[in-house]
Amino acid sequence: MARTGVRYEDVQRAIDALMAKGEAPSVHKIRETLGTGSFTTISEHLREWRRLREENRDVPPPQGMPVELQELAETLWTQAQEAANQALAHYRQESDARVDEARQQATEAERRAEDAEQRETALSAHLTQVDQRLEQRTEELAKLRAEHEALLDRERQSRERSDELTRRLEASAEDMKRREQAHKQALEEQSEKHRERLAQEEERNESAEARLMGLLDQERQERQAADKAHAEREQRLTRRLETTQEKQSALQRDLAAARQTQHETEQARDSAEQREAALRDQHEQLSARFEALERQMSEQAQHWHERERHFEERLWASLEALREEWRTETAASPMKGDDAPDEKGPA
């Protein structure tokens, strides 16, 4: 039975167009004119058209032809049609088998492409996790750097404070030293003055003993007052020295604490530098793995694109070969005798 894809009217219009151009209608030419349809359907419509044309022919067949010859011609015509139909059925089965094989290959290629997409999706998810871990490591590295900078800032402040305490301690020691020297110099000057006054009083002793006694009493009183003032001043200086020593001890303790803090800061800085170096190495390793994964994905994608291109080329080449073989076999089939029949029928 004819397929519903190409109707008899379509074939008839194609035949009219070919005959208007002066060309004899054939299955191959009709299909090229229509651009669609199977050869079997077009062949059946072409036989129907020829049958109707023979039935409606006004010119009667030539008289005098033997009946045996007409029967023999009809038998040969029927056998030729059956052989052509069998050949077409064989070629159609073979082409259908090849088309099925091509479809199976296309299905296999689609399945492989889906597998490649799934692997690519898995790789994308893995790369996303790697990116997240890399971002997390980068944030931790930034935090460690901030902590390192804070420790460096604290270390700088500790050093500045230690230097300030050292300067204050040195200034206090210099001040104390200057005061001790001034006190000794004042005592020496006062003693020198006392010795000079005693010498003067001894020289005057011969002329004014009474006056000397009074001066001695006065000197004794002044000496006692001076000794008392000197003792009081010495006590004040002693107390100030003790206070200064206490301050110096406190400054030394602060200095020791500052040095301890500086030592701890240096240890924390060394630890932070070690952690930073470890994170930097890990970052470099992750970056290397990320680049390797990117190269692997690129190579796989290029490989799959190349395989898809080769498969498409092979598929199109196979389809073209099937079409060319179909055209060649159709052109070489016994149906070729039907392309240009004699207007008077079979001889």
Mean pLDDT is lowest, of 88-97, 219-228, 270-279, 300-309, for: 88-97
Q: What are phi and psi of 33, to 5 degrees?
A: -70, -40
In this predicted structure, what is the pLDDT of residue 342?
42
pLDDT of 1 higher than 80: no
C-alpha distances out from residue 91 to 14, 51, 134, 325, Å: 25, 25, 63, 10
pLDDT of 340 higher than 60: no
In this predicted structure, what is the pLDDT of residue 344?
39
User: Would you state the structure tokens that stand for residue 306, as one six-digit string?
Assistant: 């190349």
In this predicted structure, what is the pLDDT of residue 65?
52
pLDDT single digits (tens) 241-290: 788 788 878 878 887 887 888 888 788 788 878 888 887 888 788 778 76
pLDDT-above-70 percentage for the chain? 84
pLDDT of 209 higher than 70: no
Give which of 98, 83, 25 is closest to 332, Cα–Cα: 83
In this predicted structure, what is the pLDDT of residue 11?
92
pLDDT of 228 higher than 70: yes
* Mean pLDDT, residues 131-141: 84
Mean pLDDT of the chain: 78
Q: Find the DSSP H helices in the chain.
A: 8-20, 27-34, 39-55, 67-203, 209-332
pLDDT of 339 higher than 60: no
In this predicted structure, what is the pLDDT of residue 9?
92
Burial class (CB in 10 A: 0-12, 13-18, 19+), 248: middle
pLDDT single digits (tens) 39-55: 899 999 999 998 888 87
Judge whether 169 and 248 are in contact, CB under 8 Å: yes
pLDDT of 37 higher than 70: yes
Judge whether 31 and 20 are in contact, CB under 8 Å: no
In this predicted structure, what is the pLDDT of residue 337?
45
Instruction: Kindly indicate the confidence band of residue 193, based on its pLDDT and cuts at 50, 70 and 90.
Output: confident
Higher pLDDT among residues 80 and 277, named by residue: 277
In angstroms, the CA 87 to CA 36 distance is 21
* Mean pLDDT, residues 322-333: 78
In angstroms, the CA 89 to CA 83 distance is 10
Domain ranges of the chain: 152-305
State pTM to two decimals: 0.26
pLDDT single digits (tens) 155-185: 889 888 888 888 888 888 888 888 888 878 8
